[in-house]
Amino acid sequence: MAIKLHNPTTPGRRGMTTQDFDQITTNKPVRSLLAVKNRGSGRNNQGRITTRHKGGGARKFYRLVNFKFIAGTTATIEQIEYDPNRSARIARVKTAEGEYHYILAANDMKIGQVITSDPEAPIETGNRLPLKNIPLGSLIHSVELFPGRGGQIARSAGNSAQLLAKEEDYAQVRLPSGEVRLINMECMASIGVIGNEQHQNIKIGKAGRNRHKGIRPSVRGVVMNAVDHPHGGGDGGRHGIGGGKNWGTAPKTPWGQKTLGYKTRRRKSTTKFIVKSRHEAKRR
C-alpha cells in the first residue's frame, strides 16, 4: 500500500494524506455479513459518558469478521474489501459449502488464493494452524489467547507477532508491543503480516476529518478555570500542568485522579504468563 498525497489547493489539503485503495477489489459488501452499528457516543448502558470526546461521525455498518475460522475449513478468497470499523482490510472468502466469511486480509493475499484452517495446513500466508505446528521465527497474526476463543492478538493494520520458542505446553510469542508472552500451543494463529501497513503514516490534515470519524474536540485542562479542571486557574498568564495554582502537584484527570504515567492497572492475574515486559523492551 502507498500513501496518496494531495495538492495544497486549500489549507486543509496542505499536508493531508489518504490511503491508497488500489488493493480493494469491490465496494459492495455481503449483506448477510453486515450488522447495524448504533452510535453510543461514548456512553454505557446507563447512558452516562464513560469515554469523552466521542459522537457524531459517518454512518456505517459493522462487518461480521470470523476470528475463529475453525479447523478443517478450506475457502477461496473472492474479494478484498474496506472495513470502516478497523484499520486492516478484510477478505471475503467462500467455503466449499458455499458459505461466505470475512477474515482479516494479510499482506500479499490475492483473489483466487485458497486458504486452509487445519493442523496440517502448509505454512503459507493466510493459512491457520495451532502454534505447535508453526515453525519458530514465523510471523503470525490473529493469535488466540485461549484455545477456541478466536484471534485476539495482532489484528490491526501492519501488525504481527513472532513465534520465538516452544516449551512443553506453552509457546513464547513476541507481541507487537515488544512483550514476550506464554501462550498455549493449542491456540490457533494465522500465517503472515496484516496488510495496509502504511495506515500509521496517514496525516489527518484537518479537524473535520476527525469529526467524520466520530472524534469530537478536546480542550486542555490548563486553559480551563480552576472550577472546571485541576490543571486550570492560576495568575500570570500561560503555564504548564505543574504551574500556576497547581505548582508542584502531579498531573490529574478532570476528576482528580493521578494520570500521565501513574499506573492504575492490576495485572497480577496474568503476570505469570509474561516472560518479558513491554516496558523492558522500550527501555532498550
Q: What angle do CA 254, 56, 51 make, to 5 degrees?
A: 30
Question: Percent of the chain at pLDDT above 90?
Answer: 61
35 close to 210: Cβ distance less than 8 angstroms: no
The model's pTM is 0.85
**Rg of the Cα atoms in the chain:** 23
Which CATH number fits the domain 222-279, given the four candidates 3.30.450.20, 3.20.20.70, 4.10.950.10, 1.10.730.10?
4.10.950.10
Where in the chain do CATH 2.40.50.140 domains reside? 3-200
Mean pLDDT of 4-12: 91
Greatest Cα-to-Cα distance within the chain, rounded to the nearest angstrom = 73
Contact 186, 195 (CB under 8 A): no
**Does residue 283 register a pLDDT over 60?**
no
Q: Taking all residues of the chain, what is their mean pLDDT, rounded to a whole number?
A: 88
Q: What is the pLDDT of residues 101-131, one digit of tens each?
A: 999 999 989 999 999 988 888 899 999 999 9
What pLDDT is attached to residue 108? 87
Q: What is the pLDDT of residue 101?
A: 93
- Decide if 127 contacts 151 (C-beta within 8 A): no
Are 39 and 61 in contact by the 8 Å Cβ rule? The answer is: no
Domain with CATH 4.10.950.10 in the chain: 222-279
Task: Write the pLDDT tens digit of every residue in 154-205.
Answer: 999 999 999 999 988 999 999 999 999 999 999 999 999 998 999 999 999 9
CATH code: domain 3-200 is 2.40.50.140
Minimum mean pLDDT range among 23-27, 48-52, 170-174, 270-274: 270-274
